[in-house]
Amino acid sequence: MALIVQKFGGTSVGSTERIDNVAEKVAGFRRDGHDVVVVVSAMSGETNRLIELANAIQEQPTPREMDVLVSTGEQVTTALLSMALHKRGIDAKSYNGSQVRILTDDAHTKARIRSIDDARIHADLNAGRVVVVAGFQGTDEHGNITTLGRGGSDTTAVALAAALKADECQIYTDVDGVYTTDPRIVDGARRLEKITFEEMLEMASMGSKVLQIRAVEFAGKYSVPLRVLSSFEAGPGTLITMEDELDVEAPTIAGIAFNRDEAKLTVLGVPDTPGVAYQILGPIGEANIEVDVILQNIGEEGKTDFTFTVGRGDLPRASAILERTVEELGAAELRVDPKIAKVSVVGVGMRSHAGVASIMFKALAEVGVNIQMISTSEIKISVIIEEKFLELAVRTLHSAFELDADPELAGYANA
């Protein structure tokens, strides 16, 4: 029989009733003879509640203590799910990240997994137990609790599947698969039967919230069969697979991704000299702030303007760093825009089909959406626009690339 790693998100375990439902699903796989490892998130709303408690005590909570605090949410769920399995006559054992020995680096709140000691898990599986692991967390080499960032339970599940050489990693969530875009914005959004690791990686990095980007990276790197499924209804979900396993007639564009959580910073009047980009972005990188789209204008009279985007949550720290940089460089001023959004078209078919950019830009122009910045890769084109035009842009592009479902399927897309 198969070894399956299953991950259940916060909404899937959001109440004791839902934890019971998850236990029934897991018990079914175990009774069928499969070895099962379950990774769980905190109950929905719990992590936010813990963050609010921290913010009420300290305006900028200490990262190490924040990790100690928020990691408790997943530990509660592991214990409750193990109890629910015991009630059904299924032997189960819960572990937090330190007990499994998920070793990470020491970047608190954004740690990366270095290695996993799977000895305890294999011993339990050989004894016929279901193993329940707290997602989102690990420990560094000094024994400090670390967390992997929002959505980190996905990464825990895929990393465990890779370490254990699982037959499949199943990500259960509140949607029944990966869609061409968010069905809450576009009525005609369609569930994809398959999507490549590359496309899913771009969708995740461009704002799709179905999977954490590092989880997709892990799955692609170690060829972990990955499937996104609904916790609440039966269905095949979406299989994330290699490109050569896709239908040769797959459409040029797989989907439209977007991200509201963006902010733009512009340093005006920067000296147009070699190394200035490093002088601006070096301190930003040293502060562990991720930079997204970058634009530098053509220099005039020895001066230029330098613009880049960051996550909106990193804006205060990035602004504080740049204010010092502006003074050091003798630049004119710093301008900040917290009300921007990013919209992206993604598809491996772009490699062999020309004209994607022209279709995108024409469609946006026709509805009056101004493009502020553009970023491209081999399989995606992203634009930065005003946040107020986000939904209009997504709907327009979804139609322009003929991704809308047939009218009779629109109801299913919103299911």
Q: Which residues are annotated as a binding site for ATP?
A: 7-10, 173-174, 179, 184, 209-210
Query: How does DSSP assign 220-242, residue by residue?
Result: HHTT--EEEEESSS----EEEE-
Longest dimension (CA), the chain: 77
Cα–Cα distance measured from residue 328 to residue 279, given in angstroms and rounded to the nearest whole number = 9
Task: Give the CA count within 13 Å in the CB-facing half-sphere of 283.
Answer: 14
In this structure, is the dihedral angle defined by the CA atoms of residues 397, 262, 44 and 193, taken in order, positive or negative?
A: positive
**Annotated binding-site residue numbers for substrate:** 47, 74
Please tell me whether residues 261 and 170 are part of one structural domain.
no
Residue 370 is assigned to a structural domain of this protein: yes
| Shared-domain flag, residues 167 and 272 | no
Could you tell me if 395 and 280 lie in one domain? Answer: yes
Name the least confident of 71-75, 147-151, 262-266. 147-151
| Residues 152 and 23 grouped into a single domain | yes
Residue 392's domain comprises 257-400
DSSP character for 82? Answer: H
Considering its fold, how many domains does the chain have in total?
2
pLDDT digits (tens, 9 = 90+) for 191-242: 998 898 888 888 876 556 677 788 888 888 888 889 999 888 888 899 988 7
Which residues are documented as binding site?
7-10, 47, 74, 173-174, 179, 184, 209-210
Q: Do 7 and 155 belong together in one domain?
A: yes
Structure confidence by residue, pLDDT tens digits, 159-203:
999 999 999 999 998 888 889 998 889 989 999 988 988 888 888
pTM score, whole prediction: 0.76
Distance CA 376, CA 384 (A): 12
Residue 249 has pLDDT above 60, yes or no: no
For residues 41 and 74, give the distance between their C-alpha atoms in angstroms, rounded to a whole number.
5
Q: How far apart are CA 194 and CA 175, in angstroms?
A: 15
Q: In percent, how much of the chain has pLDDT > 90?
A: 72
Domain final residue, candidates 159, 174, 189: 174
Does the residue 7 lie in any domain?
yes
Summarize pLDDT for 88-117 with one digit per residue, the tens.
Answer: 999 999 999 999 999 999 999 999 999 999
Query: Which candidate, 256, 255, 322, 313, places its Cα nearest to that of 286?
Result: 322
- CATH code, 386: 3.30.2130.10
Q: Is residue 221 situated within a structural domain? A: no
My answer on whether 70 and 162 are in the same domain is yes
In-domain check, residue 346: yes
Domain boundary among 174, 191, 219: 174
Q: Average pLDDT of the chain?
A: 90
CATH code of the domain covering residue 95: 3.40.1160.10
| Domain contains 263 | yes
Per-position DSSP letters for 231-271, written without gaps between them: SSS----EEEE-GGGS-TT--S--EEEEEEEEEEEEEEEEE
Q: Is residue 202 part of a domain?
A: no
In a domain, 244, yes or no: no
From the DSSP assignment, how many helices (H) and strands (E) are in the chain? 14, 18
Task: Judge whether 212 lies within some domain.
Answer: no
Q: Is 284 in the same domain as 381?
A: yes
